[in-house]
Amino acid sequence: MDTFETLRAIISDKFGMDAAEITPDTLLDTLGVDSLHAFDIIFEAEEKYGIRLSLGTDSPKTIQDFVNLIDEARAGQGR
């Protein structure tokens, strides 16, 4: 599974929703993901990949933003 598919599986499981409803462009707001739920999703991704994500000042707004964050962290670790 690529990063998007993994993240989609995490989110669809957490929200109990159909994975097909989640696309790279989906806004986290529209899923009802607040900052706490975002921490929860980040946590699951970190556990899954053995990484630590640095959020900086721009918090992710779309699923693709999340994917990019994860991919950057994984690249930093040489995957």
Partner 1 sequence: MRRVVVTGMGALSPVGSDPGTLFANLMAGRSGIRRLTTSFIDQRDSQLAATVEGFDPLVHFPKIKANSLDRATQFALVASQQAVADAGLDLQHENRERIGVSLGTGMGGATTIEESYLRLCRDPASRPKPFTLLMAMNNAAGSQIGLDFGLTGPCMTHCNACASSAIAIGEAARLIRHGYADAMLAGGTEALLTYSTIRAWEVLRTLAIEDPEDPSASCKPFSADRTGLVLGEGAAMLVLEDYELARARGARIHAEIIGYGGSNDSAHITAPSVEGQARAMQLALNDADIPAGEIDYINAHGTGTKLNDAIETAAIKRVCGTGIPVSSTKSMHGHLVGASGAMEFVACLMALREQSLPPTAHLKQPDPECDLDYVPNIGRRDVNIRTIMSNSFAFGGSSGVLIARKI
Site string for partner 1, 9-48 (x = CB under 8 A): -----xxx---------------x---xx-xx--x---x-
Q: Tell me which DSSP letter residue 44 carries.
A: H
Q: Does 65 bind partner 1 (CB under 8 A)?
A: no
5 or 39: whose CB is closer to partner 1? 39
40 or 71: whose CB is closer to partner 1? 40
Angstrom distance (rounded) from CA 75 to CA 70: 9
Strand (E) or helix (H) holding 37: helix 35-49
Contacts of 41 (CB under 8 A, 6+ apart): 7, 10, 11, 14, 33, 66
Give the residues lining the site for partner 1 (CB under 8 A). 14-16, 32, 36-37, 39-40, 43, 47
